[in-house]
Amino acid sequence: MRASNSKHGGGENNRGISGHLFTLHQRLFYALSLGTRCGEGGRELKSKWKSTDIEIQRHVVRSIAAFLDSVTADVSHHPLVKDSVAHIVEALVWILQYKSGAVLSMAANAVVKLLTVIPSSILQRYILDLGDPLLSLLSFTQLEVAISCATAMNMFLSNLIVKKEKQVWEMLKERNTVACIVNEIRKFSYETMPINYFQTIASLLSTIMWQWPLSRYAVWNDTILMKVLDTLLVKPDLSVKVVVLKLYSSLGLCGNAAKKLLDNGEALLQAMVLCMDSSCPLAVRTEGFRLAQCLATNEQNFLRMTSLCCEPLVKAVVCGMNRWSFGPGRFLSDKMSLLVEACHLGLVTRWAGRHHIYFWNHGIEKILLDLILEDFNDQHVQHFLSLEEQITMAQVGLNKNFLLVLRPYIWNILGWLATYCEEDFSPNVKGNELHIKVLIICACLEFANSISMGHQICEIDAMQAPRSESASWAVLMMVYSPCKYIASNARFILSEILLPNGKDYLKNLLHSLNYVSSVECSGLSYIHQTVIDLVGLACYLALPEYQRHVIEGKGMKIASDFVTWCWSDHMHIKRQRFNPHWDNKFLKRTCCWVHAEEWEGDDVLLLYGLWALAELVHHSGCVKDNRDICSGGVNSEEIHLRSILQEICNDSSSDGPKWFAAYILSHFGFYGFPSKLGKRVGKALNEEGHADIQFILRDGETMSVHSIVLKIRCPSLLPPEASPCDEKALTNSSVIDDAQKAHGKFQKEVRLSAHVDSQALLRLLEYVYFGFLEAGDELVNKLKPLAKSCNLQSLLRLLYRKSPKWGTPVPSSDLAVALGPVGHCRSVLKSVCFPGIH
């Protein structure tokens, strides 16, 4: 050991450190020399320090503490300090393993000091050597020792590198760490134990559950532990609330645990919302928002939350996004962190539901505007009489670049609110017309800036890309909003903003799209600008004064070529690629969650291309009359396009592109969603082998159908008590005139109403079995009332050629849900619909 002391005394190794630190270093190595070193020291240590003398142990620990106290951040990477770490760890490992009560507390505190002073990159290699004795002391009788060991272990795990995770998890399993901590929390008592003991071991458990999904089951499945946590959550001590919320958040990473939390979740949600309130400290509020994000990982769970606690939850989100709730002063990191958490939770607006009403009721439009314009003043703006002055005021405010990091959140929330806003929504009633109007102006200004900058966006500012994409997307959602007020104002304001250079922007936009689909383009800058161009083209097509310019600029061919290129080249890209703010850190550690695909899925380029093409088809009138199509009077380009659209309906994994492809096909006389499964099911139509219902029309004509297919695809056509699986069937008196038991092979004979047209019914049954039908205009007019009577909303929307409604699922052709325990159901489906399955 004296040799080591001599080694570290070299002048070359002392440069950059103070004489005092060097002296403490010499004293440390003198103290260490009083022990002995031998053999292998552990998993990473090259040797083992040992001494059974308590006084020597105490002297060594004090020397370590004194040395570490003098190490500052600027010398923590100095060779003299780095070379000392291994020797310090050797001594601390032995002293902790020796478990002498007289020295343990000092040694555990020295470990905490070591982790505080020395960079984690240097200490990573020693986590297995130090971790084992630290874990063995978590339930030590001296609570101050257990607290320091838990604190040190938590610091280790919080900075753990990925390549060490597997080894550390094996160590945690060997020590039965999770069960040990759970047992300690179950025994916790306010009367007999210090609060900081619960805080440290609970924080350690939270960190373990965050890192390792396999640790979560033992926690959420412990009924006694969960009751203890429920009790602690309602205690007035805010520091305890923070730790409990962290525990729940880590548990919520598991889908099964989150479900169990919500099964008895009303009390939990109420406590969570209280912690999100502006009256609570920032740390408590932040943990409340993080827990809400974990629980709202998917749509199903979020809607469950809103069924239990909708308005209070929305109110808390809006309050968290309110920058004035923090009081005056600069936005420091803790305030900014809470704003980001609140805005992230605000993205729950991407799901439809009654929470949208409460967002409007609690003034979300004013909150969003205050996060964009730093000095917005209601009284001041009302004096601007003209739209031009309001646009100038908004541009000046945007140029201040206030809270830029929040812009993508704001535009996405605004876009979702517009998407799901009711048709008759009127801001005049709520007194928020001014804020909505200025918000629209700001979004349109950002959009115009995006399409004017072109590929310069990514070259100038990497952060500009998500802002420009989200702002453009928000404008797209607003100009096509089902809300008449929002859509009409967005279109008018956008027209005014585009007025000076709109035609030039459009020309460049079309040229850019034509170029992308004609050459091999790759790279984020090209893809990002293509998204902006596609969204821009769809927005232009919402403005009547530009529709003719798009068509004359060969917009139809450009859009059609782009869709063909995108589909053929399998350009699978999600919106999240342009929105890094969507990356929820919680999602990277989740388990047991079922995540439904977003409506646009990973086909966002295809979706926007189809959207633009759909608007062009709708407005251009270039598609021939359906009768000409049905008789073969179409050119080769239209046949090719139709083929591509049918492939998209068949093979796209996302509902959004399927809907727009089907909407375009409706202009060609094809209605519905072709699919491979639909073709297999369709083979059973008019095959009497397993048909159990016979329809009788007014002229005596009969049609044989399968109740199992109707039950899933069109239950309104089922007569009473016709369900083969003994479930209540729906009936529709406007279609069914009479139903009675048959004496032959059919279980039911159904006499249909006299006004049901046989040809229309046959086409309807084709839709039910195949998933789509083909019809000319005359037959479509007969199908509309029949489809309405049968409550086939998706078909009805296509028959009327209404634009797709965002988020609407594609009707499923999957009949597997009918494969219940009843033998008849299985035999019909397997033998008729799936003949290859035995």
Higher pLDDT, 724 or 16: 16
Q: According to the model, what pLDDT value does residue 625 have?
A: 44
Question: Residue 749: is its pLDDT beyond 90?
Answer: no
d(CA 584, CA 68): 37
Give the pLDDT band of residue 383 (cuts 50, 70, 90). Answer: low
Dihedral-angle region of residue 810 (phi above 0 means left; psi in -120 to 50 means alpha; beta otherwise) = beta
Question: Residue 12: is its pLDDT beyond 60?
Answer: no
CB 406 within 8 A of CB 345: no
CB 663 within 8 A of CB 607: no
In sequence order, the β-bridge partners of residue 591 are 254
Read off the pLDDT of residues 38-86 as tens digits, 9 standing for 90 and up: 766 556 666 689 999 999 999 999 999 999 999 999 999 999 999 999 9
d(CA 146, CA 161): 25
Question: Residue 486: is its pLDDT beyond 50?
Answer: yes
Measured in whole angstroms, the distance separating CA 14 from the mean position of its chain's CA atoms is 52
d(CA 495, CA 473): 17
CA-nearest of 420, 275, 277, 273 to 360 is: 420
d(CA 265, CA 226): 12
Read off the pLDDT of residues 130-149 as tens digits, 9 standing for 90 and up: 999 999 999 999 999 999 99
Which residues, at least 6 apart from 437, have a Cβ–Cβ distance to it below 8 Å? 390, 489, 493
| Cα–Cα distances in angstroms (integers) from residue 425 to residues 278, 466, 483, 487, in the given order | 29, 29, 6, 11
Mean pLDDT of 757-764: 92
CA-nearest of 774, 448, 415, 425 to 600 is: 415
CA-nearest of 133, 204, 113 to 175 is: 133
Which residues, at least 6 apart from 785, have a Cβ–Cβ distance to it below 8 Å? none
Q: According to the model, what pLDDT value does residue 624 have?
A: 45
Question: Residue 208: is its pLDDT beyond 80?
Answer: yes
Question: Residue 777: is its pLDDT beyond 50?
Answer: yes
In sequence order, the β-bridge partners of residue 694 are 704, 749
Question: Residue 820: is its pLDDT beyond 60?
Answer: no
Least confident of 94-98, 270-274, 457-461, 545-549: 457-461
Read off the pLDDT of residues 223-241 as tens digits, 9 standing for 90 and up: 999 999 999 988 888 889 9
SS (H, E, C) 389-415: HHHHHHHHHHHCCCCHHHHHHHHHHHH
Mean pLDDT of 196-218: 96
Q: According to the model, what pLDDT value does residue 375 have?
A: 82
d(CA 372, CA 376): 9
CB 351 within 8 A of CB 302: yes
Q: According to the model, what pLDDT value does residue 633 have?
A: 44
d(CA 272, CA 275): 5
d(CA 832, CA 687): 9
Question: Residue 687: is its pLDDT beyond 70?
Answer: yes
CB 91 within 8 A of CB 36: no
Q: How far apart are the first and last CA of the chain?
A: 77
Read off the pLDDT of residues 333-376 as tens digits, 9 standing for 90 and up: 788 999 999 999 999 999 999 999 999 999 999 999 999 998 88
In sequence order, the β-bridge partners of residue 750 are 695, 739
d(CA 749, CA 739): 6
Which residues, at least 6 apart from 157, have a Cβ–Cβ distance to it below 8 Å? 168, 204, 207, 208, 211
Mean pLDDT of 747-758: 84
d(CA 665, CA 799): 11
Mean pLDDT of 490-500: 96
Q: According to the model, what pLDDT value does residue 721 have?
A: 59
Question: Residue 590: is its pLDDT beyond 60?
Answer: yes
Mean pLDDT of 90-109: 94
DSSP annotation string for 335-385: HHHHHHHHHHHGGGGGS-STHHHHHHHTTHHHHHHHHH-TT--HHHHTT--
CB 605 within 8 A of CB 649: no
Give the pLDDT band of residue 838 (cuts 50, 70, 90). Answer: very low
Question: Residue 461: is its pLDDT beyond 50?
Answer: yes
Which residues, at least 6 apart from 330, have a Cβ–Cβ distance to it below 8 Å? none
Q: According to the model, what pLDDT value does residue 587 have?
A: 72
Q: According to the model, what pLDDT value does residue 597 have?
A: 82
Q: According to the model, what pLDDT value does residue 78 have?
A: 93
CA-nearest of 698, 706, 714 to 764 is: 714
Least confident of 171-185, 276-290, 675-689: 675-689
Give the pLDDT band of residue 324 (cuts 50, 70, 90). Answer: confident
d(CA 814, CA 702): 26
What's the mean pLDDT when you consider all of the chain? 86
CB 457 within 8 A of CB 532: yes
Least confident of 145-154, 241-250, 682-691: 682-691
Q: According to the model, what pLDDT value does residue 150 have?
A: 97
Read off the pLDDT of residues 516-555 as tens digits, 9 standing for 90 and up: 877 665 555 678 889 999 999 999 999 999 999 999 999 9
DSSP letter at 833?
Answer: I
Least confident of 40-49, 51-60, 387-396, 687-696: 40-49
Question: Residue 731: is its pLDDT beyond 60?
Answer: no
Q: According to the model, what pLDDT value does residue 9 have?
A: 45
Question: Residue 460: is its pLDDT beyond 60?
Answer: no
Q: According to the model, what pLDDT value does residue 701 have?
A: 86
Percent pLDDT > 70 in the chain is: 84
CA-nearest of 227, 221, 213, 303 to 262 is: 303
Q: According to the model, what pLDDT value does residue 736 have?
A: 55
| Cα–Cα distances in angstroms (integers) from residue 240 to residues 198, 233, 582, 678, in the given order | 8, 7, 30, 56
